[in-house]
Amino acid sequence: MSSIANKRILKELKEFSENHSSSDSLLSLVSSQDELDNIIININIKDNELYDSNRPFTLSYKINKNYPFTPPQIIFIGNNIPIHPHIYSNGHICLNILYDNWTPVQTISSVVLSLQSMLINNKVLEKPPDDDNYCKHGPSDPLQAKWVFHDDTV
């Protein structure tokens, strides 16, 4: 990781830790600051009855050497991938701020809060219409996918 990326991540992790103390049951940082290239974050969704508030979703936030000028690879991981019209069964997330609309202004906190908001506001437990095909034939890295952003309502 470049020194710019390293410095930026340390700053973001400090901000995240300050804004989301250990008493905050909605967001928690799982990784230590020694693991700067792959940060693991748990997200609880307490304000939507579609999701079990006692079972957090785990997010992987992988930093590349050009961060923050290029987006990190952000996916849900583990056995508890959220069911949502914009989240594939393999954990890939169809959200324009993670790809085409990424800007260096975004931080770990802003991205995680956007994802949390997306889940809190979900009204249906549905997978994306092309979930099976994408999971079988799509790239393993969501940054290599050719996303089409056409639905801002979910």
Contact 43, 27 (CB under 8 A): yes
Q: How far apart are CA 112 and CA 40, in angstroms?
A: 11
Tokens of 4: 């710019």
94 is catalytic: yes
The two beta strands, 27-29 and 57-62, are unpaired
Task: Supply the Cα-derived Rg of the chain in whole angstroms.
Answer: 15
Q: Of these residues, 94, 108, 111, 118, which one is catalytic?
A: 94
Query: Do residues 94 and 87 lie in contact, with contact meaning Cβ atoms separated by under 8 Å?
Result: yes
Cα 57-127-77 angle, rounded to 5 deg: 30
What are the residue numbers of the active site? 94
